[in-house]
Copies of this chain bind each other. A is one copy, B any other.
Amino acid sequence: MNDQPPVRGVAARVTDILAAFLPGDVRLTLTEICRRAGLPLTTGHRLVGELTAAGFLERLPEGSYRVGRRLWRIGAQAAEPRGLRELALPYMADLYAATRENVQLAVLAEDRALCLERLRGPQSVPLFSRVAGDLPLHATGVGKVLLAFAGEETADRVLGGPLPAHTPHTVTDPARLRAELAEIRRTGLAHTLEEMSAGTCSAAAPVLGPGDEVVAALSVVVWRHSADLRRLDPAVRSAARDLGRDLVAAPSAGRKSQ
């Protein structure tokens, strides 16, 4: 190909390499990193070598690469996930201690529910979610809460776009979803029933920041047959409310920065 891509800055090549690890792959080969970053192997090899020397990447014995601890340390300074998750963790701990189940904290990011923190134990139902990963808005408890309070424009865009069925129970009818969102706004609670993965259900509530805007959603995800979902409602609702009060008392932690 003779069509050269437009000249990009040197920093962009580095960020493209690091962003190759974004989808959650723990290990990538040099070839895979270069393919995702759109770089020739020679350039990629040199830059990956520098990033490894700096501790941003780690080279594993078998030759592949993963994100290094130094990059984790720097990323952990990000103000928004840090402040919000630090304030949320004690409430999530209480919900976990009471249920032994998955407790999740998510924010709206690029029309997805970005998981800021997840607390689960050995007995918790297995889930697709992971910290720093994202989930569909229409098929998850946290997602429905965030979508319900995201405003008309976001709702129109998401409900007008593809609404994949993750299970036979995923609600994919925009009109039915709109009715659910209105109900969530009315009650301040969202429920899902095997809509993201078979056998699980969830209860989720909005977390209000300064100015009463919804800045996050908190949920508990349990086995469908393990608990009365309605019993979770008051626990999730009060944890989300108390977290919101802490956020208002420390407003910088809840500031959005999309």
Interface of A with B (CB < 8 Å)? 9-15, 18-19, 21-22, 24-26, 46-47, 50-51, 53-54, 56, 58, 66-82, 86, 89-90, 92-94, 96-97, 100, 109, 114, 118-122, 131-132, 246, 257
**Residue from B71, B120, B246 within 8 A of A75 (CB atoms):** B71
Neighbouring B residues of A75 by C-beta, 8 Å: 67, 71-76
Contact assessment for A82 and B131 in the assembled complex, using a CB-CB cutoff below 8 Å: yes
User: 6 nearest interchain CB pairs?
Assistant: A75-B75, A90-B121, A76-B132, A11-B50, A93-B93, A72-B78
Chain B residues positioned under 8 Å from A67 (CB to CB): 74-75, 77-79
Closest to A94 in B: B97
Separation of A46 and B9 alpha carbons in the complex (Å): 9
Residues on B with C-beta less than 8 A from A9 are: 46-47, 50
Residues of B within 8 A of A80 (CB): 69
For the A-B complex with A21-B74, A71-B74 known, give 15 more contacts whose Cβ atoms are closer than 8 Å: A9-B47, A11-B50, A11-B51, A15-B51, A18-B56, A22-B74, A26-B77, A26-B79, A66-B77, A66-B78, A69-B109, A72-B75, A73-B114, A93-B119, A97-B97
- Complex contact B79–A66 (CB within 8 A): yes
Please tell me which one of the listed residues B21, B47, B74 contacts residue A10 in the complex, with CB atoms under 8 A apart.
B47
A90 vs B120: C-alpha distance in the bound complex, in angstroms? 6
| Contact B22 A73, beta carbon cutoff 8 Å | yes
Is A19 within 8 A of B74, CB to CB? yes
- Listed by A's residue number, 16 A-B pairs whose Cβ atoms lie within 8 Å are A11-B46, A11-B47, A12-B50, A14-B14, A15-B54, A18-B74, A19-B74, A72-B82, A73-B75, A74-B132, A76-B132, A86-B118, A90-B100, A90-B122, A93-B121, A97-B97
Question: Is the beta-carbon distance between B56 and A15 smaller than 8 angstroms?
Answer: yes
